[in-house]
Amino acid sequence: MRILHVDSGREYRGGQNQVRLLTRDLARAEGLEQRLVTQRRSELARRVAEHGATVREVPWGPSLDPRALWRLYLEAADFAPDLLHAHDSHALQLAYWMRRLSGGGPGDPALVATRRVDFHLRRGSVWRRVDHVIAISEAVRAVLVADGIGARDITVVASGIDPDEVRRAARTPLNVRARLGLSPDTPLAANVAALVGHKDQHTLIRAAHAARAARADLHWVIAGEGELRGSLAAALARLGLADRVHLLGHVPEADALIAEADVLVMSSKEEGLGSVVLHALALGTPVVATRAGGLPEMVPERWLVPVGDADALARKVVEALDHPSPVPLPSQFTAPAMAAGVLAVYRSLV
């Protein structure tokens, strides 16, 4: 069985890490060949190649780049895959039109796409034209069904991590408290996410303001970059929190940061699953989260709060500091389990 993976590789975030882990673990399956087509000089290309997988790097600009489309067409003609697996929306557009370009007949490869977000589909979306969708959570599946995708055409395969890899990455200390000039015993709440609307760090900042009366010693760190950085900085200045909430920007040592934090806080309005939570569970760091998307599928009810409720988020973070309760990582959220679930989908279609 030949699998041709397609990922735009525009950023290296949780979804791209899932592609790396999937290709790594599928390499152990007998009778399976796989290649990855992704953006030239992307971080994803580099990391997947490190595991010995075959990677084809292509020039890939915005939208449906004809250069990338032609290169994917040539790669498919050479490799003759049994199945195309698109890992993001940009990749799905490319894979769908490449299959149309090749004729769209019964002998063409099956088209599978992984849906990682719980956003609703647009009218006429190409997501409605795939052979099968892999949803990373029940929450994502529910949105797809509500948007008209047949339930039998969706399989839930949760994102997975390599716990040992995560723990190894966390062994090199980040010393974030020392970098911020804080004492070693300073309570620290961390948010690791892109600074974009659906991650809703504005609610996190309001929670930090609400928690200040109860825990004046509590500091918060937000690790990530994105379009909201300017408005978040303005909110911190307006609320007088610049000395308590620290915008760290992109932190390559995210696992070390999570390990050093007393609690990981997810303030999302929408969340397909949130693989950073899995990293926290593997590291024994307590998690407080909103009930957005797939977060309740990982985080116990005790540590969940309503979306957008800054006061409830503040109270729950303080409770987690006073009564830490780490949750073990369930086995279904490991990379081998994820790869086995995806492989079962492949075999059902080929």
| pLDDT exceeds 90 at position 347 | yes
pLDDT tens digit sequence for 5-41: 999 998 898 999 999 999 999 999 999 999 999 999 9
- Co-location of 89 and 230 in the same domain: no
- Co-location of 6 and 148 in the same domain: yes
Q: Are strands 219-223 and 188-192 parallel, antiparallel or unpaired?
A: parallel
**Count of domains observed in the chain:** 2
Which residue segment(s) compose the domain that 50 sits in? 2-160+334-349
At residue 86, the pLDDT reads 98
pTM (2 decimals)? Answer: 0.94
- Co-location of 204 and 66 in the same domain: no
Beta bridge partners of 36: 5, 55
Tokens at 244, concatenated:
């308590």
Among candidates 215, 203, 15, 191, which has minimal Cα distance to 115?
Answer: 15
Question: Which whole number is the average pLDDT over 240-258?
Answer: 97
Question: What is the C-alpha to C-alpha distance for residues 114 and 103, in angstroms, rounded to an integer?
Answer: 23
- Co-location of 318 and 344 in the same domain: no
- Co-location of 316 and 176 in the same domain: yes
- Co-location of 67 and 117 in the same domain: yes
- Co-location of 325 and 341 in the same domain: no
**One-character DSSP codes across 103-131:** T--TTSPEEEEEE---PPPPTT-GGGGSS
| pLDDT exceeds 90 at position 229 | yes
- Co-location of 113 and 212 in the same domain: no
Question: Which whole number is the average pLDDT over 192-210?
Answer: 97
At residue 318, the pLDDT reads 98
Question: Which whole number is the average pLDDT over 121-130?
Answer: 94
At residue 138, the pLDDT reads 98
Question: What is the C-alpha to C-alpha distance for residues 76 and 93, in angstroms, rounded to an integer?
Answer: 15
- Say what percent of the chain tops pLDDT 70: 99
At residue 106, the pLDDT reads 65
Buried b (16+ CB within 10 A) or exposed e, 210-249: bbbeebeebbbbbbbeeebeeebeebbeeeebeebbbbbe
Neighbours of 181 (CB within 10 A): 7
| pLDDT exceeds 80 at position 107 | no
- Co-location of 284 and 174 in the same domain: yes
Sheet architecture: strand order including 33-39:
54-58, 33-39, 2-6, 83-86, 110-115, 132-135, 154-156
Identify the CATH number of the domain in which residue 229 sits: 3.40.50.2000
Question: Which whole number is the average pLDDT over 143-167?
Answer: 98
- Co-location of 102 and 202 in the same domain: no
Split at pLDDT 50, 70, 90, the class of 128 is very high
Query: Higher pLDDT residue, 343 or 64?
Result: 343
- Co-location of 96 and 131 in the same domain: yes
Among candidates 268, 208, 195, which has minimal Cα distance to 236?
Answer: 208
List the single range of 91-100, 103-112, 145-154, 243-252 with lowest mean pLDDT.
103-112
pLDDT tens digit sequence for 274-307: 999 999 999 999 999 999 999 999 999 999 999 9
The CA angle 145-146-147, to the nearest 5 degrees, is 90
CB 111 within 8 A of CB 95: yes
- Co-location of 122 and 180 in the same domain: no
Question: What is the C-alpha to C-alpha distance for residues 292 and 198, in angstroms, rounded to an integer?
Answer: 10
Question: Which long-range CB contacts under 8 A does 344-349 form with residues at least 24 apart?
Answer: 344/155, 345/112, 345/132, 345/134, 345/155, 345/157, 346/1, 346/3, 346/32, 346/83, 346/85, 346/112, 347/1, 348/132, 349/83, 349/110, 349/112, 349/131, 349/132
